[in-house]
Amino acid sequence: MIKKINFTVNGKKRELEINAGETLLEIIRKRLHLTGTKEGCGVGECGACTVLIDGTAINSCLYLGVWADGREIVTVEGLAKDGELSKVQKAFISEGAVQCGFCTPGFVITASALQSRGHSLTDIEVKEELAGHFCRCTGYQNIIKAVKKSLENETAGTGGDHT
């Protein structure tokens, strides 16, 4: 069954006709060609496909495209503003949290959602928040450091920024 959806992706309004069974991940990668969002497991285990949906980090491989109707989606391509990487992206680079990079967009998206909550987290809390993400390369320590760095100077109630 074909369905029409209207949604916003990285600030741009989009109207698409999709198959009712298509996942948001398929739409993002195959129709919109935003291939920064990765497909790892395809079954909700690895976190590589994570995107922001109305500000919440969600596995797009488990999310039907029809559910995206009327929603605001942000992929890793939408985090930089005016050509400048976000605070989270910069922290991943400065802390050496990227090796092959396959997992990185998912981690960065989840870290961006954490940043928007506007407060710092302990190591344990960061580990809990990242529990849905797998990385085969880094051993996680630098990723945890990067996430903590990206949350530095965030004050409760102010919301995050992308500077």
Nearest to ligand FES of 98, 160 (CB atom)? 98
Instruction: Name the site residues for ligand FES (rule: CB under 6 A).
Output: 39-42, 44-49, 59, 61, 98-104, 135-138
Minimum distance, C-beta of residue 96 to ligand FES, in the bound complex (Å):
10
Nearest to ligand FES of 129, 154 (CB atom)? 129
Minimum distance, C-beta of residue 104 to ligand FES, in the bound complex (Å):
6
Nearest to ligand FES of 101, 159 (CB atom)? 101
Nearest to ligand FES of 20, 41 (CB atom)? 41
Minimum distance, C-beta of residue 119 to ligand FES, in the bound complex (Å):
26
Minimum distance, C-beta of residue 63 to ligand FES, in the bound complex (Å):
9
- Say if residue 58 is exposed, middle or buried (CB neighbours under 10 Å; 0-12, 13-18, 19+): buried
